[in-house]
Each structure stands twice: as C-alpha cells, then as structure tokens.
Amino acid sequence: MRAVSTLAAVTLVTVPLLLLPGLVFYYDVTPKVVTLLVVAAAAAALYRPLGRLDWLLGLQAVSLAVATAFSLDPALSVVGSNWRRMGLAAQIALLLLTHVAARAPASRLLRAIAASGGLAAAYGIAQYFGWDPLVPRESYHVGEGFWTIVRPPGTLGHAGYFAVYLLHVASVGLAVASAEEDRRWRRVGAAAAVLALAAVALNGTRAALLGLAAGLAVLMVARRPRLTVRRLAVGVGVVAAVVVFYFSPVGLPLRARTRWFREDPGGGGRLALWSDTLRMAARRWPIGFGPETYSSQFPRFESEELARRFPERYFESPHNIFLDALVSQGVTGLAALAALAGLGLWRLRGSPFLLAGLVASLVANQFVAFTIPTALLFYTTVALGAAEPGPGRRRWMLAPVAAALLAVAVSLAWTDFWLERTRVSLAAGRIDQGAGQYRRLRQLALPGVDTDLWYSRALYAAFAGHPEALQAAERAAARSEQRSNAWYNLAGFYAARNDFPRTEESLRAAMHWAPRWYKPRWMLAQVLEQAGRTAEAEVQARRAVELYPDGPPEIRNIFDRLRARRSVP
C-alpha cells in the first residue's frame, strides 16, 4: 500500500509543477507526460483488480483502444498532438493512475495536491505581478499599451487550463483545512485554498469563474452554513478588498480582461464551434475519428460562419470535454466519461468540499479541453470518491502495457530533447550542426510525433537552400497533425522553386483538408494568374474574399485586378 500511495503522491506533485525550459522544446508538456508515462508503467506492475471503478476504467480503455485502431491517423492517436499529448498512451496512463489513486490513502493524496497546488498558485500570482524566471512574459501578455491583459498560465502553459486546475486545488485545500488532524497540514490546506482562489481571480478565465460560482453554490447547499455577524463581516471585507484591488492601478489587467469580455461575449464562437463539432461527430458516432485527430479533421467540417468570424483561428479541440470524447471515441467514450463523472458525484456526496470541486471542474471543462494536469486532477477526484480496498492478487497481465508506456516515454523525451538542441543550433546559425541533431532526433521518433512542419520552416529561415527543408516539408504534408497547414507550407516551398504544377497540387490538397480556409485559395489565385488561367484565378480570389471579407486589402486587390482584367474587351 505504501508503494501505491507513494506513486500516486509523486505524480500529483510533479506532473502539475514540472517545467523544463531550455532542456526540451515543449517544456510545459513533455516533462509532464513523460513523468506520467513512467509512473504509470510502475503502476501497471502493482495492478490489483478493484470493483465498479475498474469496470468503468476498463470501458474507457477499450473505447480508446478501438477508437485508435480505427482512427483516421492511428500513429497520431497513439502519441497525441504536440500541444497536449493526450493520445492513447497518455490516457491509458491516466486510467492506470486513477486505479492506483482509488487504492491509496486519501489523506496522502489530498496533502500532495494541496502542497503542489499551493506552490503552483503562488507562481501564477507572481506572474500576474511581473515576476517570472521561467516562462517568457510575452507568451501570456495579450494586447499592447494601456489595455494589456495579463493571463498567468502558471506551470500549465495556458491560462485556461491553469484556472481549471486551480479549482481542484481550492477544493482540496478546503478539505485538508477542515479535516486534517495535523495542525501544520491544516495550515497548508488553508493557504493552498486562499492562494488558488486568488490565482483564479487574477487569471480571469471565464470558464473557471463560472465553475467557481457553481462549486460555491453546491457548497452552500451541502453545508448550509448559518449566517452570523462574523461571517457577514468577513464576506463584506473580502468583497471590499476585491473591489479596491480591481479599481487600483495593479487591477488594470483585470479591467482590461473585463473589457475583453464585453467585446467577445460569445467566448470565441463556442456555440458555432460546438454545432460544427456535433455535425462532425455524427459522421463517425460509433467509434469517433480517433484520439487527438481533431485538429487535422475538424477544418473539413468547419462551417462558413465560423470560418468567416475567425479566419485565422486554429481550433485544436472542441473546447468541451464531453464533445472531445464523443468526436474522438464515439458514443462509448462519451458514455464512459459521463459514467465516471457520475460515479464521482454520487460517491462524493459525503465530502462537500471535494464534491464542490468536482462540480466546479465539470462546469469549467464544458469550455476547455482536458490536458494532462487537469485530467489527472479530475480522475483523482473521482477516485477519491470511489476509493476501494485492493483485496485482489497482483496481476502481471499489464506488463506489456508497462513496457509500451516506457517506450513511448523514452521516445518523447529523446525527440523533444534533440528538437530543442536543433532549435538552439539553427537560431545561432549553426546549420550543419542543427541538421545533424535533427537527424539524430529521427532515430527514435515515433511515427505520430509531428516535428517536420516546424523543422522545415526553421531550417528554411536559417538557410533557404538546404535540401532537408523541402524533405521535411514533404514528410509533414503526409502526416502532420495540422494537415492543411502542412500542405500550405509545402506549396510555399514549391513556389520558391517555380514548380507551379506541384504548387497548385499542394494548394488544392490544403483546400481539401480545409475547404473554408481563405489562404490557400488566395495563394492559388496568384499561381493561376501567373499561369494565364485568369477565369480560374478569379473564382479562387472571389472565394478568398468571401471567406475573409474584412481581411487585408491585398486579398481584395487581386480579386479586383482579375475582375477588371476580365471586363477589358
């Protein structure tokens, strides 16, 4: 039991906090997923059958395996996309660790979450006030001048996911502060809760604030606290402090964020995105398109309305955990996720703080996607509610799974380490060294790992004539997770070589993968014009204008020029 609880606690401490800038390329993603995979491999060796929870975890695992087997891009579905790595390997690891968490002492897990979450929250608060030794501040400063918005990403790489993670930290902190016998841990829990709530407020993510309101409502109903003079005074004091802070000079980024709320009340076209995603999911509702294939497959189903409103937007997910499960795994995956959430809600009825945290997370996750840290806290909270003893004998049937998880972890660590070395060399102008390092990267890279698109651009920027740049661009077009972008990128390479037939072919391939993206049509109009195919060029130019009516004048200029040329007798 000690080994089980140690594994779970180590994971809950290290995964949310790990950042390794300068060592690996995706410094806020790869360290987390590699740690998760390694610990899960050890957890597989400690597997003992449980009860109802294991049946649901097994259903989720089977759904993931089937969806990956029939995926439109199986290699990508195994390792996952660059931005979060939530492929089959990582999700199986999460399920294994959920099984482990259900057998570990709850108090130890709660302590681990409170301690690490308090540190992460403190770091996010420091980011808001301008202190950040690890992450470039320009990556989370939006806008310029007086109305610059500061959205601290903490240790999770993105403000939205950080805010959802903090909701769990706040609820766990309150649970530790109220139930721990050790006074020191009660203080740690209280501090974690206060820091997490403050960080959520400074973060300014609407989904998290809505989730926080839902969690507080559940907590009020569950605990039914009496309204006393002291509590009323504390509440008034907190509200007054928030108001003073908001209107003070240091509250300017929050006021800028409020201004952004008013300018974009729809949350980046969420309703249109969800509608398009449902239409997409209906095409393969039994088994889905495969984990992590959304970014390559969704542009084929994107509506013209959404494309016109956000012509430069890249949708990496449906920004909803249930829709994500549906479109990736089909109805079985959706049912498994919903059943796990329902089991957690039912079993946590006697733990009001954890119940409030799970409700807050579920509400907030209707507007964001799972990442490794947020999914880990979600599943762990469910496991805390569904905790069961492990009377069964140890089974070694998961030994092959453990070996596979370790292999994926080694490959991802190797690939990302050498990708960072390549980046540094190319940025310094050491072209041959960078090319050699990239060839070394490919020795252990798994087929689904998408590095060629970035490498083709970086190498071209450093040395346009290097033959490996075109080779990388061609590989990216065949297997990149951003398929339309990769074909558009390849068209640029062929255009630079005056290979117009292949340029046209690549642009039409980009249009196949993203029919309502204006850029390939705009570029194709220019290519066709140079080839003397004016009528065809005008058709593509008109379509580009229709898809981006408020775009740069260059887009309309080519259409006006072609139309004027046609009208000349």
- pLDDT tens per residue across span 323-333: 999 999 999 99
Assess contact for 222 and 355: CB atoms under 8 A. Answer: yes
Decide if pLDDT at 6 tops 90.
no
Decide if pLDDT at 568 tops 60.
no
Question: Per mean pLDDT, which range of 156-165, 220-229, 384-393, 409-418 is the poorest?
Answer: 384-393
Decide if pLDDT at 19 tops 90.
yes
Decide if pLDDT at 50 tops 70.
no
Q: Which residue has the higher pLDDT, 18 or 137?
A: 18
Q: Which residue has the higher pLDDT, 499 or 569?
A: 499
State the pLDDT at residue 67: 97
State the pLDDT at residue 99: 87
State the pLDDT at residue 224: 82
Instruction: Tell me the torsion sign for CA atoms 90, 92, 93, 95.
Output: positive
**Tokens encoding 157:** 């790489």
Residue 554 to residue 115: CA distance in whole angstroms: 54
What are the phi and psi torsion angles at 334 (to 5°)?
-60, -45
Q: Please compute the mean of the pLDDT values over residues 499-521 and round it to a whole number.
A: 96
State the pLDDT at residue 413: 97
Most confident option among 230-234, 237-241, 282-286: 282-286
pTM exceeds 0.75 for this model: yes
* Mean pLDDT (the chain, rounded): 92
Q: Which residue has the higher pLDDT, 281 or 142?
A: 281
Q: Which residue has the higher pLDDT, 143 or 175?
A: 175
Decide if pLDDT at 36 tops 90.
yes
Provide the 3-class DSSP secondary structure of residue 466.
Answer: coil
Q: Which among 192, 148, 152 has a CA at the least distance from the CA of 172?
A: 192
pLDDT band at 242 (very low <50, low <70, confident <90, very high): confident
State the pLDDT at residue 215: 96
Residue 277 to residue 395: CA distance in whole angstroms: 40
Q: Please compute the mean of the pLDDT values over residues 11-35 and round it to a whole number.
A: 96
Decide if pLDDT at 569 tops 70.
no
pLDDT band at 560 (very low <50, low <70, confident <90, very high): confident
Question: Per mean pLDDT, which range of 44-58, 69-83, 188-202, 549-563 is the poorest?
Answer: 44-58
Q: Which among 60, 50, 1 has a CA at the least distance from the CA of 370?
A: 60
CA distances from 73 to 82, 147, 219, 335, 360 (A): 15, 42, 43, 23, 34
Question: Per mean pLDDT, which range of 193-197, 226-230, 429-433 is the poorest?
Answer: 226-230
Neighbours of 394 (CB within 10 A): 10
Assess contact for 100 and 57: CB atoms under 8 A. Answer: no
342-395 pLDDT, tens digit each: 999 999 999 999 999 999 999 999 999 999 999 999 999 999 987 765 555 555
Neighbours of 304 (CB within 10 A): 11
100-139 pLDDT, tens digit each: 888 888 999 999 999 999 999 999 999 999 999 999 888 8
State the pLDDT at residue 227: 76
Decide if pLDDT at 208 tops 80.
yes
Residue 326 to residue 73: CA distance in whole angstroms: 17
Q: Please compute the mean of the pLDDT values over residues 463-483 and round it to a whole number.
A: 94
State the pLDDT at residue 267: 66
423-461 pLDDT, tens digit each: 999 999 999 999 999 999 999 999 999 999 999 999 999
State the pLDDT at residue 165: 98
Question: Per mean pLDDT, which range of 71-80, 184-193, 228-237, 428-437 is the poorest?
Answer: 228-237
